[in-house]
Structure 1
């Protein structure tokens, strides 16, 4: 493996750096974007229980805010519910915007790696072919080992760029899809909360939906 990397030339260094970066981001985001950590399915049902039992006080709201991103969104709505539907929705949207930004952290970097790694491989290919033609001009076509070295460098960097870029692209699409699903769920839970607190929906029905 080390010999292959060395044969690829200096362009293998940034490609390897990209692979480490992509792996780190992928593992960290898949671990962070677990639904149980971002948007627990039973969280809204717990809020309904607090409301029915008249336990929804500042301590509960503080606990809710510290629990998860969805908890912070719901807490923002609860804290501003007495100001009317519009203010409540605006406060929820403001907090949700920040939470979505946090959920999408590093995804742009992962997408950049997915796009750049194959281009780095292509650049390595160009350098390898330049080397081949330079040797041809200097020594003719008699030095087969020199020509093979340049062609090998070209092929190795191309393959390495694709090996890094393809999984990075798949991971980026998968993570973006996961973020979208979490955002939709959080929006649905927030709408249920607004409807209940503003009198457009019964708590019992919403509690059943949240289960």
Structure 2
């Protein structure tokens, strides 16, 4: 039971941390490309704003890497955005493997508890026979409790693992679209009206 309890505490901590970290407004602030375009037109995009942009959000970090290379070709700019994007995507997936492992391992820990409980039941039967139901009940209850505990930790862990995987995929796609929009704006492939529509 102790490993199952430890897994449940760890899973809860990961779920709460990921719920906080993967909020849409935190990862992909609204109208960030519009704000950057306004800074560029006003000549206000300096090192301090780039630093604030980089530290403000994951999307800001991706866009800042493109802005640093805005004087270079479209390919160089896109490559730096893609490199930073891969790092950001990796950070957004942080702890998800651990949550998936918990979802896979806790039913096995429950099964192990079941096996140990049944071994205890058969040991009692061997020692005292089947005449004392009180002696047998301890092993059977241990078997059932650990199985139930393992499954009750695994199911929510698996649900949240799948939910966060989908959430990360959505956010990465949205950041990709925003980064492409910025590249197209800076390289003159989109007009002012299209920037402000985003």
* TM value normalised by structure 2: 0.96
RMSD: 1.1
Structure 1 position 90 matched with structure 2 position 79: yes
Given that 1:127 and 1:154 are in contact with CA atoms closer than 8 Å, whether structure 2 keeps it comes out as yes
Q: Which residue of 2 is the match for residue 74 of structure 1? A: 63
Q: CA shift at 1:77, angstroms? A: 0.5
Q: Choose from 17, 36, 45 the match for 1:28.
A: 17
Given that 1:77 and 1:92 are in contact with CA atoms closer than 8 Å, whether structure 2 keeps it comes out as yes
Q: Choose from 124, 132, 143 the match for 2:113.
A: 124
Q: CA shift at 1:72, angstroms? A: 0.8
Q: Distance in 2 between matches of 1:80 and 1:118?
A: 50
Structure 1 stretches lacking a partner, 5+ long: 1-11
Given that 1:48 and 1:207 are in contact with CA atoms closer than 8 Å, whether structure 2 keeps it comes out as no
Q: Which residue of 2 is the match for residue 158 of structure 1? A: 147
Q: Which residue of 1 is the match for residue 191 of structure 2? A: 202
> Which structure carries more relative contact order (alpha carbon 8 Å, separation 6+)?
1
Q: CA shift at 1:152, angstroms? A: 0.6
Aligned residues: 198
Structure 1 position 171 matched with structure 2 position 178: no
Q: CA deviation digits over 1:12-38, x for unaligned, max 9?
A: 100000000000010011011111111
Q: CA shift at 1:63, angstroms? A: 2.0
Structure 2 stretches lacking a partner, 5+ long: none
Q: Which residue of 2 is the match for residue 49 of structure 1? A: 38
Q: Distance in 2 between matches of 1:165 and 1:63?
A: 40
